[in-house]
Amino acid sequence: MRKARVERNTNETKISVELNLDGTGIYDVQTGVGFLDHMLEQLSRHSLIDLKVRAEGDLHIDFHHTTEDSGIAIGQAFAQALGDKKGITRYGSCLLPMDEALTRVALDISSRPYLIWNVNFTRDKLGDMDTELFREWFQGFAQAAGITLHVENLYGENNHHIIESAYKALARSLRDAIEIDPRKSDAIPSTKGTLGGSL
């Protein structure tokens, strides 16, 4: 089983993550930020990655550090659980509708982290959470996980639907990308022979 546990402690946050890539989408998430919990639960459920997150952050200031650092910690656990990436499909993409919103995600588990973020909101907050912080979560996750990640909302009116479709599309893309290719289960999916380091 491809599992990992990560603890990330700073002066701003204390975060622990337990992750199982070969799970069934079981989640237990407590970050202190209700809307972020909801999104991480969607990520787990639709990727089939088991996810346990505990976060204590400086929420008396704002939600920025907790949001960003949870993305980093989950990304670190993801990369650790993947190991040398032998046998994975590597690429994933999803075009995901949620009512009136449609979002596209494409990713490459490449060890070359990069985020393209074409998602716009018409509200500053969802619940108590600043909508600008969603980009910080995706950036932290992509960087720490070593993923080239493109996220684009094609259209939508409801801001909740827009961001939830982005997390669900990420989940489905990850689900495809981490699957073991039965025709090449013993090989690194790269002509370089490695997917580690900066390539």
Q: Which residue has the higher pLDDT, 3 or 192?
A: 3
For the stretch 102-147, pLDDT in tens is 999 999 999 999 999 999 999 999 989 999 999 999 999 999 999 9
| Residue at 6: amino acid letter | V
In a domain, 187, yes or no: no
For the stretch 57-81, pLDDT in tens is 999 999 999 999 999 999 999 999 9
CB 86 within 8 A of CB 109: no
In a domain, 189, yes or no: no
For the stretch 136-195, pLDDT in tens is 999 999 999 999 999 999 999 999 999 999 999 999 999 999 999 888 767 666 556 566
DSSP letter (8 states) at residue 180? B
Query: What CATH number did the domain enclosing 113 receive?
Result: 3.30.230.40
Domain count across the chain: 1
> Which residue in this structure is represented by tokens 């969802």?
126
Per-residue pLDDT at 47 exceeds 60: yes
In a domain, 8, yes or no: yes
CA–CA distance from 29 to each of 56, 87, 197, 199 (Å)?
12, 29, 30, 33
In a domain, 191, yes or no: no
In a domain, 31, yes or no: yes
In a domain, 127, yes or no: yes
Domain, as residue range, for 162: 3-177
Q: C-alpha 5: how far from its chain's center?
A: 16
In a domain, 65, yes or no: yes
Give the whole-angstrom CA distance, residue 66 versus residue 29: 13
- In the chain the first and final C-alpha atoms are separated, in Å, by 27
pLDDT at position 192, please?
62
In a domain, 188, yes or no: no
